[in-house]
Amino acid sequence: MKNFETSDVLKQLPKQFFASLVQKVNQYIANGHDVINLGQGNPDLPTPNHIVDRLKSAADEPINHRYPPFRGKPELKKAVAEYYKREYNVELDPETEVAVLFGGKAGLVELPQCLMNPGDTMLVPDPGYPDYWSGAALANVKMEMMPLKAEHRFLPQYNEIPLEIAEKAKVIILNYPNNPTGAVADLDFFHETVDFAGKHHICVVHDFAYGAIGFDGKKPVSFMQAEGAKDVGIELYTMSKTYNMAGWRVAFAVGNPSVIEAINLLQDHLYVSLFGAVQDAATEALLSSQQCAVELNETYEKRRNAFISSLHEIGWNVQAPPGSFFAWLKVPDGYTSESFANLLLEKAHVAVAPGIGFGDYGEGYIRVGLLTTEERLREAARRIGDLGIF
């Protein structure tokens, strides 16, 4: 059997961080341990019935057994525009300011190829979602990391970015509510972002994956709500978190028409749009009652409160996240993020993600996904308490 060498592009891809984490957890499960897996960002609840029912009925429609329009069904793009008007009071042209994506991850990984040439510079948050690095590697562009620190509420400080780097940068990636830190951004920060991007001619790419998940009565702000946002960038929104449609691979980008056209052009060469029935179900989700999204947000808030209060009870003084379904926890003295995560898995059978997997500035933290029941989250805290560290 001949062994064909892979391309240089594949050789330079970063190691898939979550794949190795899953492998380690699965080994413990295979050995008979009851592992509470809080290491991944995989929603644990089912898609609401009305969305599933629409998928079922749409799958019976002969029109959906054909290739859909290359750039997505007009009905879905109009639904996206209606959603943004209803939820954020943002006006969008469905034809020129909305692009249908094959999931948020695909859109994020594609974007550098749409806007950048090999050797160009992209500003990337550290810590951040590791697939941002994958997009940079596939486009062969250079990443300049923007530290996200607790003292700055995990927001990048534009005045600390050297002028020569700001002048070279073509794209900046932001993500609020944030993965992994759970931080949120306000409108003032997004106005700063518009000013910074406009001054240096940088395209803003805001990953709004957790846009529906905000706590303590505060709804997360869309970048598109900032005056001038469409002039300088786009926002990506996935259906997977708001409606538990993980695995359905449906998302969209909104904003600057030139960037939307670039996305559509690349996707014209990669796909013939999403299965029509999935688009119809996504349309149903966006236009129908949003009570399911409200209830899901309440569920995550109850889980957050149960988990954080349980950690406080064992003496671990951590901060509650204001958004997303992640908690970003500072590890105790004497441990690295990886050694502490390994200890929790080996001794407490609680799986978490070490912060170093999200970038150098993730060191000293672990990320916990609030993606199991309140009872299991309390049990995880109890097991950690039994280790006697705190």
Q: Please report the domains of the chain, with CATH numbers, ordered by start residue.
A: 8-46+292-386 (3.90.1150.10), 49-287 (3.40.640.10)
Q: How far apart are CA 31 and CA 385, in angstroms?
A: 23
- Adjacent-strand bridge partners of 351: 37
Please report the pLDDT score of residue 273 as a whole number.
87
- Which residue type sits at 25? V
Q: Which residues of 84-112 are buried (b: 16+ CB within 10 A; e: fewer)?
A: beebbebebebeebbbbbbbbbbbbbbbb
Dig out the tokens for 303 from the structure.
């889980």
Q: How far apart are CA 142 and CA 122, in angstroms?
A: 6
Please report the pLDDT score of residue 110 as a whole number.
95
Dig out the tokens for 73 from the structure.
């069904």
The set of long-range contacts for 10-17, using a CB threshold of 8 Å and a minimum separation of 24, is 12/137, 12/140, 13/134, 13/137, 13/138, 14/130, 14/133, 14/134, 14/137, 16/130, 17/130, 17/357, 17/358
Query: Angle 287-291-295 (CA atoms, 0-180°, nearest 5)?
Result: 140
Contacts of residue 250, defined as CB under 8 A and 6 or more positions apart, other chains included, come to 100, 101, 102, 103, 238, 239, 240, 274, 278, 279, 282
Averaged pLDDT, groups of 10, the chain, 390 residues long? 90 80 87 90 92 97 94 97 98 98 94 96 96 94 97 97 97 98 98 98 98 96 98 97 95 98 95 93 97 97 97 95 97 95 94 95 97 96 94
Task: Give me Rg for the CA atoms of the chain.
Answer: 21
Neighbours of 374 (CB within 10 A): 16
Helix axes 276-287, 74-88, angle to 10 degrees: 20
pTM > 0.85: yes
Is 139:112 a contact under the CB 8 Å cutoff?
yes
Measured CA distances, 33 to 28, 40, 128, 370 (Å): 6, 18, 31, 20
Please report the pLDDT score of residue 277 as a whole number.
96
Please report the pLDDT score of residue 292 as a whole number.
97
